[in-house]
Structure 1
Amino acid sequence: MKSNLSISQNNWLRNSDLFIIIIFCCVPLFMSFPYRVNIFLSWEGAYRLYLGQVPYRDFGLPMGFGYWVVPAIFFKVFGPYLISLIKAQVFLNFICCLSFRGILKKLKLSDGVRIAVMIIFCLSYILPNFWPWYNNSVIIWQIVGLNFLLGFLNTEARKKYVFLFLSCFFLFVSFFTKQDGGFLGFAIAAALVLYNTIITKKWKDIFLFLLLYIIIAVLVILPFTQYSFGYWFNHGQPPHTARISISEILGELFSASQWIKFYFLLIAIIVAFKIKNNRSFLTNRNEMIFLLLTLGILAEALIFGVTSYTPPDNNIFFHSFALAYIITGLSGITLINFSKVYYFLGLTILILFWWSAGYWQYINRIAMRIFPSETVEAKNDSLPAENVINRYTYMLNLDSNYYEDESTWTTIDSLKSFQKIYLPPSTIAGIQRLKKMDVLKNNNASVLNMTELTPLDYEFGYKLETGQDHPLWDHLGVCMFNKQCDDYCNKIKNKQYDVVLFEYIPSLNNFFPFRIRDSLQVYYKKTDSFLAPRRPTNGTIEVYVK
């Protein structure tokens, strides 16, 4: 009967998640994007590697440089443009999806549950992450490493040690991308290997895992120790502030993290049911690896949300792992076979309804044309219509320096590095004025670009400042420290730069150090200013000359 059709009986249906992956990953290739906060850092690091600069010798950064390797390769292939970063992320998202799919297959999820979870993963984690960012890349490389680790744990052939090597390599790449997520990924992997070692009595596996990881780490790090590699952990200069706090983690656990705790509750109920019906549950290797992986991801998401707090949804990857376990567990308890087409379709419809925020922003553009919002003419152009109070008008924005509405943003295709990227009109006008400055037409001009418009480095062609203590980006206390800040102030005092572009963001704590701006106002002359391409907060780019 048609109602009994199973996904597993049809090869096309069974592998439909591959088509889902391709569609979700390729969507960004056909779109234009507004300039995104912090994308300047992705561009700057990739551009310096593209130029052949060596980390810790030509610039300092408080982490490994693993994050910038793939974007730099795409700069080599497609050019040092912002849109090349989008293409790099498409590639990373595709690798991530295939690796996550591999994990689900190795955990022996039914075809229906696997495809449904892949839809959740694409909607919740892949679709929003169309720009590269290290808090995203660290998780991608971790998922790749965990996929190879499960290949090692599930294989008895000699090739299992190839999987182990690849697992250790990508887990280290994750750590060399960002310490917190990378270490947590390593801890999850170590817990899985240790459990498997205890169950199988193959004690060499845990030692081989640790040994391979250490060897890979030494081989990668050793060549850079001749430079200022200690900059990674801000070695040798104060202040030293911990990025992790037990009290903050406890606060996050008990005052927030509702989804994580809810999932934990459901998992606890499922595990209790399984133990009741299977006394050997704790020694069932496949069951326990699935459980340990899920609990490890939930614990990581809790901690990661504290140590990597921007943007606030960095840890959203945990939904897919938790729901993979929960849906599989509920399927066993209820005896519902989600590989049956009608059950699968019902589950998919509910998932699409639940995660509608991921795609509604695109559909809403069409819906607003069909069902336009009712508007009322205002008596005063600076205020909304009186007596019209709704969720959009109950508060007044009295900030006269507020950025232009995003509907007015447009592209500046005359600059290759900004093609297909929307910018505020005032930002574009400011860039056009910069292009007319005689001093910037000289490639030998000494320019300090302390703004989010780092692609101007390529557009104007001036030589980038280098040095072991030169920070890759300028957030005081994160990548720049007191010593580097004092060096900049001294160079400004000595008028070393012909032009300084400085971004003033009063609402962010020294995102670009305030005392550098104070020095500029004493020793340089401000000739222009225009709005920075920021949506969440206000910022002004100021132009200073000798």
Structure 2
Amino acid sequence: MPKFSLKGRRPAIAESIIIIALALVPLFVTFPYRVNIFLSWEGAYRISSGQIPFRDFGSPLGYGFWIFPAIFFKLFGPELISLVKAQVLLNIMAGFAFRSILKSMGVQPGVRLLSVLVFVLSYSFFNFWPWYNHTVIVFELVGLSFLFRSFFSDSRSRSYLWMFGAAFFIFLSVFTKQDGGGMAFMLCLLFLAYNSFQTRRWLDLPIFVAMFAVIAAVMILPLMPGFGYWFNHGQPPHSSRLAFNDFTDEIFGSSNWIKAYVVLVVLCIVAKVKAWGAWLQQRREVLFALLTLGMLGEAAIFQVTSYTPPDNNIFFHSFAFAFIASYLLDLLKININSFRPLLGAAFLVLFWWSGTWWKYIGRFTDRLFPAQETVAMGTPGHENVVNRHNFMLNNDTTDVPVSSWVFSDLRPFRKIYMPASTVKGMEKIMALPVVAEKKGDIKVLNMSELTPLAAAMPYKLETGPDYPLWYHLGVGMFNRQLATFTQKVRDHHYDLVIYEYAPSLNNFYPFALRGELKQHYHQVDSFLAPRRPTNAIIEVYVK
């Protein structure tokens, strides 16, 4: 019987199956309402409806994040589940971009296959919803994959085509989130500088910068002057997130994975390299080291500038794993391309990242082996059971466990479950006399996470160069916009106002406007917001 080995198309087929199969999983399940997903829906809905960013609405971000969700709204309708479908494509793009980068770095097939598995399990698999802190990295990976293809292309013309693709996607990265995109651009300059030095292709770096500048000009100039006010580059009324103490506290006070990887990467290089002058001439080796250390550095900064959710930066695991595994297996003389070592390593990777897939299997084991319940004290013949599940008592009477959430009949919320209070509250809104009487002509201010009501009701969204895409005071809107909304409430401009009160979040919706609503409008209902924990309420006001 011939021995198994990773040759020919086998690695590509296996990697493609891993990337595509795990990316498709979200298409076959239902979801609880995701915190903050209202923003993804709103931007995609406006763009898919023909609105122009920075003319019809303002945002501190570029519109790169909403491109794919808007396309999927056009294809499948403005439903929340369409966002999940868009994320499937983004996860597939990310997986193949990461694979392409490793191919350019000359990573052997076995390590590449394992690294793809690590990437999917650690970064893509649980990202079911599009979010700008993830999309910015997807565009960066695609841009880097094109850039490295340009470095090792045999044709000068094709090399510049790849470089143009790199410049385009790196710009989309910047146009999605300034911090991650800006670091992606700087990393590209670093790689270009080293590659130009080694190949004596001195024009590559200025040509890339020129390509980036032309693309930026074409994409930005038509959006002026609104772009200059809304896009956050630290100018007033925006505030900078670059605080030196934040970086030092986070990096030196925690970041244990990142620091451990840096130590291991350095040790691997020192252990393998015998002649530094010769090693510096090996482009793939040096670029691989620069890429790995660069991604670790980016992750350390990204966790400070994009601090929510806390797992934005874990793309670094797969890069560190690919580098360390490549060097370690070479030093230990292990043939990872043969069947048994590869299978054993795959099981170790699955064990390492079991947290991403066990929660699905755990649902079945919980039913097979249910936890012992607490028995009321004083029950004859029984003792009170105290274990890890109940040693602390939950006295929060407002919390609604996800297990009791229900589905809504409104089409934009299809396949998404929420607290029953939220679903009933939306039904009451739809049944309000003012909604039935004015139908599509109703004037609505929806300061809540239920943005898909715009399509369910429906109502026409307000537009204008000074109208914010979302209402987080100091982030998505500022005092100038608050003054406008305040005056409109005082003038009874709106027929219906839906306001979310989240007291634990700093002006997530402007607190000052709630006082104006209490004074000038009549509150007809309140219900739980679709959050977990359920620590916010949605209030409904009419004239």
Are 1:440 and 2:419 matched, yes or no?
no
Structure 2: distance between partners of 1:44 and 1:13: 40
Partner amino acid, structure 1, of 2:278: S
Change (3 A) 1:257 1:536: farther
Identity of aligned residues (%): 47
Once the two structures are TM-superposed, the CA of residue 92 in structure 1 deviates from its matched residue by: 1.0
Picking from 335, 360, 363, the partner of 1:362 is 360
Equivalents in 1 of 2:446, 2:350: separation in Å? 44
Change (3 A) 1:291 1:537: farther
Structure 2 residue 151 is matched with structure 1 residue 153 = yes
Report what 1:94 is aligned to.
92
Superposition map of 1:401-416 within 5 A: 401-402=398-399, 404-412=400-408, 414-416=409-411
Specify which of 436, 460, 481 is matched with residue 463 of structure 1.
Answer: 460
Q: Structure 2 vs 1, CA of residues 14 and 168 (structure 1 numbering), >3 Å: closer, same or farther? A: closer
Report how far residue 540 of structure 1 moved.
0.4
Whether 1:183 and 2:179 are equivalent positions in the alignment is no
Aligned partner (choices 387, 398, 406) of residue 390 of structure 1: 387
Q: Which amino acid aligns with 1:28?
A: P
Instruction: Provide Cα deviations, 1:488-534, integer angstroms capped at 9, x if missing partner.
Output: 11111111111110011111111111111111111111110000110
Q: Distance in 2 between matches of 1:471 and 1:306?
A: 25
The worse-fitting range, judged by mean Cα deviation, of 155-164 and 257-266 is 155-164
TM-score (norm 2): 0.96
Counterpart check, 1:502 vs 2:499 = yes
Partner of 1:525 in structure 2?
Answer: 522
**Alpha-carbon separation, structure 1, partners of 2:356 and 2:502:** 30
Structure-2 separation of matches of 1:535 and 1:222: 41
Query: In 1, distance between residues paired with 2:11 and 2:172?
Result: 34
- DSSP 3-state at the match of 1:501: strand
Map of 1:427 onto structure 2: 422
State the Cα RMSD in Å. 1.7
SS of the aligned residue for 1:373 comes to coil
Which ranges of structure 1 fall in alignment gaps of 5 or more residues? none
Counterpart amino acid of 1:297?
M
- Tell me the SS of whatever aligns to 1:149: helix
Query: 1:479-518, aligned counterparts within 5 Å?
Result: 479-518=476-515
Does structure 1 residue 274 correspond to structure 2 residue 272? yes
What are the residue-to-residue correspondences of 1:70-469 with 2, within 5 Å? 70-157=68-155, 158-233=157-232, 237-238=236-237, 240-276=238-274, 279-378=277-376, 387-402=384-399, 404-412=400-408, 414-441=409-436, 442=438, 443-469=440-466
Secondary structure at 1:452's aligned position in 2?
A: coil
Give the conservation status (yes or no) of the 8 Å contact 1:274–1:281: no
What secondary structure, in the 3-state scheme, does the structure 2 residue paired with 1:428 have? Answer: helix
CA contact (8 A) 1:60 1:470 kept: yes
Q: Deviations over 1:395-440 (max 9, x none)?
A: 33333322x111011211x211111111111111111111110111
Q: How do 1:9-20 residues align onto structure 2 when only pairs under 5 Å count? A: 11-12=9-10, 15-20=13-18
Contact 2:502-2:508 at 8 Å conserved across structures: yes
AA aligned opposite 1:219: V
Judge conservation of contact 1:228–1:468 (CA < 8 Å) in 2. no
C-alpha distance in 2 between matches for 1:492 and 1:329: 64
Amino acid across the alignment from 1:190: L
The CA deviation at 1:233 is: 2.4
CA distance in 1, matches of 2:112, 2:227: 46
- Is the contact between residue 104 and residue 114 of structure 1 (CA under 8 Å) also seen in structure 2? yes
Task: Return the offset for 1:51.
Answer: 1.1
**Residues 118-161 of structure 1, C-alpha deviations (whole Å, 9 max, x = no match):** 11111111111110000000000000000000001111302111
- Give the deviation of 1:12 after TM superposition: 3.4
Paired with 1:438 and 1:386, the residues of 2 have a C-alpha distance of 56
User: Residue by residue, what CA displacement relative to the aligned partner does 1:324-369 show, whole Å, maximum 9, x if unpaired?
Assistant: 1000010111111111111101110000001001001111111111
Seen in structure 2, the aligned counterparts of structure 1 residues 479 and 25 have a Cα distance that, compared at 3 Å, is same
SS of the aligned residue for 1:543 comes to: strand
Q: Say if 1:7 and 1:14, in contact at 8 Å, map to a contact too.
A: no
How far apart, CA to CA, are the structure 1 residues paired with 2:167 and 2:534?
40
Aligned equivalents of 2:537, 2:368: Cα separation in 1: 37
Distance 1:228 1:265, change over 3 A: closer
Gaps in structure 2 of 5+ consecutive residues: none
Q: What amino acid sits opposite 1:454 in the alignment?
A: T
Aligned residues between the structures: 537
Partner of 1:31: 29
Q: In the TM superposition, what are the counterparts of 1:3-14 in structure 2 within 5 Å?
A: 4-8=3-7, 11-12=9-10
Aligned mates of 2:463, 2:406 — CA distance in 1:
33
Q: The residue matched to 1:461 in structure 2 has which SS?
A: coil
Residues 234 and 240 in structure 2, CA contact (< 8 A), matched pair in contact too: no
Contact persistence 1:228–1:469 (CA under 8 A): no
2: CA distance, partners of 1:85 / 1:32: 13
Alignment deviations for residues 85-120 of structure 1 (CA, whole Å, 9 cap, x no partner): 011111111111111111111111111111111111
State the Cα distance separating 1:393 from its structure 2 match: 2.2
Distance 1:13 1:408, change over 3 A: same
2: CA distance, partners of 1:482 / 1:93: 37
State the Cα distance separating 1:82 from its structure 2 match. 0.5
TM-score by length of 1: 0.95
Distance 2:97 2:411 in 1: 34
Quick check: 330-339 or 385-394, which moved more?
385-394
Partner of residue 475, structure 1: 472
Q: CA deviation at 1:14?
A: 5.3
Q: How far apart, in 2, do the equivalents of 1:213 and 1:236 lie? A: 22
1-side partners of 2:137 and 2:309: how far apart? 14
One-letter code of the match for 2:218? Answer: L
Contact kept? 1:499, 1:544, Cα under 8 Å: yes
Deviation of residue 234 (structure 1)? Answer: 7.8
Deviation at 1:254, TM superposition (A): 0.6
SS at match of 2:435: helix
Q: Which secondary structure state, in structure 1, belongs to the residue aligned with residue 441 of structure 2?
A: coil
